[in-house]
Amino acid sequence: MSAQIPISTFKPYRGEKARLARAYDYLILVLALFLFIGSFHLHFALTVGDWDFWVDWKDRQWWPLVTPLIGITFPAAVQAVLWDKFRLPLGATLCVAALLIGTWVTRVFAYHYWNYFPINMVLPATMIPGALVLDTLLMLTNSLTITSIFGGGAFALLFYPTNWPIFGMFHQPVEVANSQLTIADLFGFQYIRTGMPEYLRIIERGTLRTYGQYATPLSAFCSALLCSLMYPLWWHIGKWFATTRYLSKI
């Protein structure tokens, strides 16, 4: 900080190899982007996809519980490498952004333009805010434990509040044929899905042990605990996937 050397004395190397290293950055970025879209999206769609596809699956009990739990996996694995090896504090955001690109492209070009489901019915949820907190916490603390506990918790707790501005409007009640429905329910009944009978939805139906309006925060805090455990597990899975070992035969 105290050195007073004029900038002009520095002559950064701008030769061929510097330019190559830059080109290599782009190649890595493109590979990472598409590979993470592909594998994260596959993982996400087949484990919590239905909640993410349909507006009438986005309930208070299951959606905020399972989505962050499944969503924190790849971010943790990629952070383990990008942060530890390269000190790049963007592993989680990269993964979540990649997932959103993948889902949006499919919702628009397959769900909407191929099969004519309205975009409002198939909006993907966002996990960007949680991912930003996760990346920032890891960068500031440089600690797996602290990021697991507080980052994992924040990832789950932020999920519902940050999605509420997107999906809140679909919870307006309407009266249809003497029944009370939400707009989201109505979407589900109106735009026919051949393989999705109503009973298939895994959503909150109430129990005799549910008290008041606690469903959402309960799910969020339950998810927060599970995310705190999922995060280090996937951190180590990521570590393992990043090893460089050679076998002599297979």
Return the DSSP state at 112. I
Residues 6+ apart with CB under 8 A from 188: 54, 55, 56, 121, 196, 198, 201
Q: Is 244 in the site for other proteins (CB under 8 A)?
A: yes
Neighbouring CB atoms inside 10 A of 223's CB total 27
Using the rule CB under 8 A, is 205 a contact of other proteins? no
Q: How far is the CB of 84 from other proteins (least distance, A)?
A: 10
> Cβ of residue 51: shortest distance to other proteins, in angstroms?
8
Strand partners, 237: none
Q: How far is the CB of 211 from other proteins (least distance, A)?
A: 28
Q: Is residue 134 within 8 Å of residue 154, measured between CB atoms?
A: yes
31 vs 176 by CB, closer to other proteins: 31
Cβ atoms 151, 131 nearer than 8 A: no
Q: At which residue do the structure tokens 């008290």 appear?
A: 211
The residue among 13 and 211 lying less far from other proteins, judged by its C-beta, is 13
Query: Is 111 or 170 the residue whose CB approaches other proteins more closely?
Result: 111
Q: Do the Cβ atoms of 82 and 90 come closer than 8 Å?
A: yes
Q: What is the phi/psi pair of residue 203, to 5°?
A: -135, 170
Tell me the two tokens of residue 29.
């970025």
Q: How far is the CB of 231 from other proteins (least distance, A)?
A: 15
> How far from the centroid of its chain's Cα atoms is residue 79's Cα?
13
Taking CB under 8 A as the rule, which mask of x and - marks residues 46-85 in contact with other proteins? xxxxxx-x--------------------x--xx--x---x
Residues 184-203 that bind other proteins (CB under 8 A): 193-197, 200, 202
Cβ nearer to other proteins, comparing 22 with 205 = 22
Site string for other proteins, 14-53 (x = CB under 8 A): -xxxxxxxxxx-xxx-xxxxxx-xxx-xxx-xxxxxxx-x
Handedness of CA 220, 223, 229, 234 (dihedral sign): negative
Instruction: Report residue 224 as tokens.
Output: 């927060």
Binding residues for other proteins (CB under 8 A): 13, 15-24, 26-28, 30-35, 37-39, 41-43, 45-51, 53, 74, 77-78, 81, 85, 102-103, 105-106, 109-111, 113-115, 117, 122, 193-197, 200, 202, 237-238, 241-250
